[in-house]
Amino acid sequence: MNITRIQARLEKLPLKVPYTIAYKTITDTEIVFLEITLSNGITGIGAANPFEEVVGETPAQTLHNLQQDFLQQFLGRDIRRFRSMIAEASIQYAHQPGTIAAIDLALHDAFGKYLGIPIVDFYGRKHRQLPTSVTIGIQSVADTLHMAKDLTQQGFTVLKVKTGLSVAEDAERIIKLREQCGTDMRIRVDANQGYTLDMLRHFLEQTVAANVELIEQPLPVGQDAQLNALPIVQRSQLCADESLTDVHTAWRLSHPPAPYGIYNIKLMKCGGILPALDIANIAATAGIRLFWGCNDESLASIAGALHVAYSCPHTRYLDLDGSFDLSRDFVHGGFKLFNGQMLLSDQPGLGIEWE
């Protein structure tokens, strides 16, 4: 079954509610969609919205890359050679993971639909369902508690709280959140590089009774080695995010004494399903647990992340709420959400179709 058409477009989508992280406020997102059509009419759908501050690529650059002549050489190619096409794209667009991710996802979707099976079953399903966290941005204590109450009423059991501007205010929010939610709610923290080592120590001391499950990227990229000053029991609950972008950083951060006990793998950072599997294998050899994250993304790429997450035995945490915040999407399907649990559909490929 050969490829007959390749098309890309960019859509700018406002978020339902803007939110603030340690270094910016986000009000909308730009998503690039890629469609690959096969000779029997099957369409594979990919999507990407790389975060320039993390990977140095913008959605506009992604669109430009996908509309160049390079991708047109895949016309006439057999979809069963999808891995070799991803390898070629990875060389052509090295250090541009958004571009590679869109290609990787569209080819995986088309290939799975060609086989008639979900991609998670092609790689070997290890999980059926896990809860995803939902994100609360940096805001006042009152607003944090109000949003948490609303999310709890929707059935979510895991909250991720953005921090990184003030240790005292961050700690107060977490403590009050634990008091309101009780012990059944799992609480995670994402500092987005907002702390120094001393600030992190103070935050850990002040929130020890709140039983924070994990802390994402507490220090700026490049300062990871400072974390080795912490005892291993504290490092084990730290999660690499912005510091973990590809297999090279995954390998470097896995060397003992490892500063992180958890890896946050995002398809928009590493370039899609195939490199995500490589990072997962590196983590497995080092005993590092897997956390699957996202940007503000379409169902198309969130579904891709969920397929690869459920094919990895070391997956422990999901933070795949990126499509929940969109005012609209251009695809449907992929997964079902029940009381905060994410369940993949039984449809082939990534389980997605155009609206």
Residue 299 · residue 323 · CB < 8 Å = yes
Give me the amino acid identity at 132: T
- Please give the DSSP secondary-structure letter assigned to residue 133: P
- Please give the DSSP secondary-structure letter assigned to residue 184: S
- To the question of whether residue 170 is assigned a binding role by annotation, the answer is no
Please count the other Cβ atoms lying within 10 Å of the Cβ belonging to residue 226. Answer: 16
Which of 12, 24, 113, 266 is catalytic? The answer is 266
Which of 162, 176, 269, 336 is catalytic? The answer is 162
Euclidean distance between CA atoms 22 and 54, whole angstroms? 14
- To the question of whether residue 325 is assigned a binding role by annotation, the answer is no
Residue 151 · residue 186 · CB < 8 Å = no
Euclidean distance between CA atoms 37 and 66, whole angstroms? 15
Euclidean distance between CA atoms 193 and 68, whole angstroms? 35
Euclidean distance between CA atoms 341 and 338, whole angstroms? 5
Euclidean distance between CA atoms 321 and 184, whole angstroms? 20
Residues shown for the chain: 355
Residue 48 · residue 102 · CB < 8 Å = yes
Residues 6+ apart with CB under 8 A from 282: 247, 250, 251, 254
- To the question of whether residue 224 is assigned a binding role by annotation, the answer is no
Euclidean distance between CA atoms 257 and 84, whole angstroms? 36
Q: What torsion do the CA atoms of 228, 187, 182, 302 make, to the nearest 10 degrees?
A: -160
339: left (phi over 0), alpha (psi -120 to 50) or beta: left
Active-site residue 162, yes or no?
yes
Instruction: Name the residue among 294, 225, 234, 230 with its Cα closest to residue 261.
Output: 234
Active-site residue 126, yes or no?
no
Please give the positions annotated as active site: 162, 266
Binding residues: 190, 216, 241
Binding region for Mg(2+): 190, 216, 241
